[in-house]
Amino acid sequence: METHSRDFSKVALFLAGVILPKYLLKNTVPLMYYLKLFAEDTLQVEWFAQAFSGNNDLVCQSENCPWSCFYTNDRRFLNISDIVLFNAGDFNLRELPRFRKSDQYFAFFFMEPLTWHGERLRYMPLNFFNLTITYRKQSEIFWPYFQLVKISDNPFAIIPWDYKTVSGVIAVYKNSFSNIRRSLTRKTKSALHSVSRCSTHSKREAYVAELSKHIDVTVIDSCSKRCSKQCEEKAMNEHLFYLSFEKSVCKEYVTEKVFARLGQFLPIVLKRSVLKNVLPDEAFIAADDFDSSKQLANYLKRLKNNTKELLRFLTSWTKLYGYGTGGGCTLCKYLHQQPRPKNILRDVKSWWLKNANCDVHCDLKLSRKSGGALELFIILQQLSLWKILDASSKKQLNFGKQNLPFFCRCSGSCYLYLIIVT
């Protein structure tokens, strides 16, 4: 396969004051430019670099990825880059480039589900993006937060079951029978739930509250019980189960809440189907496999006293699976293709909505006023009803009570404010 070529010596001359690394002047590697990086947060800049290489040299090349790319968030590289990544949840619409070179990709990059940052898509121009990079498998570039793959089918799979860091993000632990068995003896508490967001579309907080009635659950969040890193690490070492509940329940949306502590304790997720083809079935427990939170709690109590079964959950699959090389490597490989695939995504909003696959949760709030009709004030919090109604925020509509279920089937997250007139 040919490598996309570029004369970087001319680039260096053209960009006055820009010093390119020596390896760029000697080699031909695709150039990536990120329009805006998560509110210019330095830590997020480092995270993005690590997503490619596992270090901070900003080059997507490591022993587990045979493809190399150069990444920058310096806007002076905009017009010469092979690809421009637009984080759909964070960039300024007024900063969108007016022109795109014929051989350049403008990539729709989004790692959050429909229910977060979705309203921005309403204002996206048509025919702007020609590449999609998301956690969804329907994207041209599938970029999951993390991915387990079969070692036998992936020669570049990362085997993380020892003391090392994967992609600079997750610290995984030596997953051996003796180490796991030893750690189980120190875990005297049941379930841990640690989150930064207290109110969510998935309503995980409601399920946790219900589960807490039947089994001990330690909750660490930014609303009630703050905890330092040292405090949180101590809690991690004391608990057997981790409530890996996502803020949104969407197909293929699986974050570090599930992956970050594999091998340290057993993750519990809200819905099994979300993790289909993401994790082996024997690596986690799903709450929706049980008829009630009480039934789940009783199962966890029995499992807590069954070391053999716990070891099966924690270790049985590790000989077959390792971590995939990740979306960064997939993107680098894609950019090295010659000729490059040509794509045009006419309407990113429609594409994103069509493939949402998110569970819906509608909040109903009631109040009484004088009058004689039922009025629905529908506040479109995000993109929830766009494919049903072409209505702007706070638009007033009149419906009968029989229409209420129709709105609760909207895709995404909607809030219906009912004003019952007496």
Q: Is residue 309 part of a domain?
A: yes
Considering the domain architecture, whether residues 216 and 298 belong to the same structural domain is answered as yes
Considering the domain architecture, whether residues 38 and 101 belong to the same structural domain is answered as yes
Rounded Cα distance between 203 and 182, Å, is 35
Kindly indicate the confidence band of residue 311, based on its pLDDT and cuts at 50, 70 and 90: confident
CATH number of the domain within which 271 lies? 3.40.50.11660
Domain that holds residue 394: 363-421
Rounded Cα distance between 236 and 225, Å, is 15
Considering the domain architecture, whether residues 178 and 312 belong to the same structural domain is answered as yes
Contact residues for 81 (Cβ-Cβ < 8 A; gap 6+): 31, 32, 33, 72, 104
What's the predicted TM-score (pTM) here?
Answer: 0.68
Considering the domain architecture, whether residues 117 and 214 belong to the same structural domain is answered as no
Contact (CB, 8 A) for 250 and 201 = no
Count of domains for the chain: 3
Mean pLDDT to the nearest integer, 252-280: 83
Mean pLDDT to the nearest integer, 72-84: 80
Q: What is the pLDDT of residues 93-109, one digit of tens each?
A: 777 888 888 888 888 88
Q: Is residue 163 part of a domain?
A: no
What pLDDT, on a 0 to 100 scale, did the predictor assign at position 64? 65
What pLDDT, on a 0 to 100 scale, did the predictor assign at position 34? 59
Mean pLDDT to the nearest integer, 412-418: 30
Q: Is residue 149 part of a domain?
A: no
* 317/374: higher pLDDT: 317
Q: 3-class DSSP state for residue 136?
A: coil
What pLDDT, on a 0 to 100 scale, did the predictor assign at position 342? 79
pLDDT at 6 over 60: no
**CA quadruple 117, 118, 119, 125: dihedral sign:** positive
Q: Is residue 154 part of a domain?
A: no
Q: Is residue 2 part of a domain?
A: no
What pLDDT, on a 0 to 100 scale, did the predictor assign at position 2? 38
Considering the domain architecture, whether residues 314 and 370 belong to the same structural domain is answered as no
Considering the domain architecture, whether residues 172 and 277 belong to the same structural domain is answered as yes
What pLDDT, on a 0 to 100 scale, did the predictor assign at position 237? 83
Considering the domain architecture, whether residues 21 and 132 belong to the same structural domain is answered as yes
* 195: amino acid identity, one letter: V
Considering the domain architecture, whether residues 247 and 185 belong to the same structural domain is answered as yes
Q: Is residue 47 part of a domain?
A: yes
Q: Is residue 150 part of a domain?
A: no
Which string of DSSP letters, residue by residue, matches 311-335? HHHHHTTTTTEEE---HHHHHHHHH
Rounded Cα distance between 153 and 155, Å, is 7
Residue in the structure block whose two tokens are 């990539």: 107
What pLDDT, on a 0 to 100 scale, did the predictor assign at position 225? 65
Considering the domain architecture, whether residues 108 and 212 belong to the same structural domain is answered as no
Considering the domain architecture, whether residues 172 and 137 belong to the same structural domain is answered as no
What pLDDT, on a 0 to 100 scale, did the predictor assign at position 303? 93
Considering the domain architecture, whether residues 288 and 343 belong to the same structural domain is answered as no
Q: 3-class DSSP state for residue 288?
A: helix
Q: What is the pLDDT of residues 165-213, one digit of tens each?
A: 333 333 344 445 566 677 777 888 999 888 777 777 778 888 888 999 9
Q: Is residue 12 part of a domain?
A: yes
What pLDDT, on a 0 to 100 scale, did the predictor assign at position 178? 60
Considering the domain architecture, whether residues 192 and 313 belong to the same structural domain is answered as yes
pLDDT at 294 over 50: yes
The proportion of the chain whose per-residue pLDDT surpasses 90, expressed as a percent, equals 7
